[in-house]
Homo-oligomer: A and B are copies of this chain.
Amino acid sequence: MAELTNIRSPRVKAARRLAKRAFRDRDRAFLAEGPQAVREALAVEGVTVELFATADAEVRHADIVAAAVARGIPVHRSSGEVMTELTQTVTPQGLLAVCRFVHVPLPEAVPPGARLVAVLAHVRDPGNAGTVLRTADAAGADAVVFTDASVDPYNGKCVRASAGSLFHLPVATGAPVPDAVRHARQAGLRVLAADGTATRTLDEVDLSGPTAWLFGNEAWGLPPELLELADEVVRVPIYGRAESLNLATAAAVCLYASARVQRQSLYPVEHPPTPAS
Residues of chain B lying within 8 A (CB to CB) of residue A135? 242, 245, 249
Partner of A134 from the list B138, B161, B246, B275 (CB cut-off 8 Å) is B246
Q: Does the CB pair B36–A272 fall under 8 Å?
A: no
Interchain CB contact under 8 A, B238 and A138: yes
Q: How far, in angstroms, from A59 to B204 measured CA to CA in the complex? A: 41
Distance to closest chain B CB from A28 (angstroms):
24
The 0/1 profile, CB within 8 Å of B marked 1, for residues 235-277 of chain A is 0111111111110110011001101100100000100111101
Cβ A206 vs Cβ B242 within 8 A: no
| Chain B min CB distance to A186 (Å) | 14
List A residues 130-166 near B (Cβ within 8 Å): 131, 134-141, 161, 163-165
Query: How many copies make up the complex?
Result: 2
- Contact yes or no, A169 B131, CB < 8 A: no
Query: A246 contacts B163, CB within 8 Å?
Result: yes
Contact B244 A163 (CB under 8 A): yes
A209 within 8 A of B: yes
Partner of A138, one of B137, B240, B257: B240
**Residue on B nearest A208 in the bound complex, by CB:** B274
| A227: min CB distance to chain B, Å | 18
Give Cα A131–Cα B134 distance, bound, in whole angstroms.
Answer: 17
Neighbouring B residues of A209 by C-beta, 8 Å: 277
How long is the Cα–Cα vector from A228 to B232 in the complex, in angstroms? 44
Report A8 CB to chain B, min CB distance, Å. 31
Query: Which chain B positions have C-beta within 8 A of A169?
Result: 240-241
A241 to B269, alpha carbons, bound, how many Å? 23
Contacts of A3 in B (CB 8 A): none
Most buried by B among A131, A231, A239, A245: A239
Instruction: Jot down 25 A-B pairs with beta carbons below 8 A, ordered by A.
Output: A36-B243, A131-B246, A134-B242, A135-B242, A138-B239, A138-B242, A139-B240, A140-B239, A140-B240, A141-B240, A161-B246, A163-B246, A168-B241, A168-B242, A190-B277, A203-B269, A205-B272, A206-B273, A208-B274, A239-B263, A248-B249, A252-B252, A252-B253, A256-B256, A256-B257
Taking A135-B249, A163-B242 as known contacts, 11 extra A-B pairs with beta carbons closer than 8 A to each other, sorted by chain A number, are A134-B242, A137-B240, A137-B241, A161-B246, A164-B243, A231-B277, A248-B249, A249-B249, A252-B252, A253-B253, A256-B256
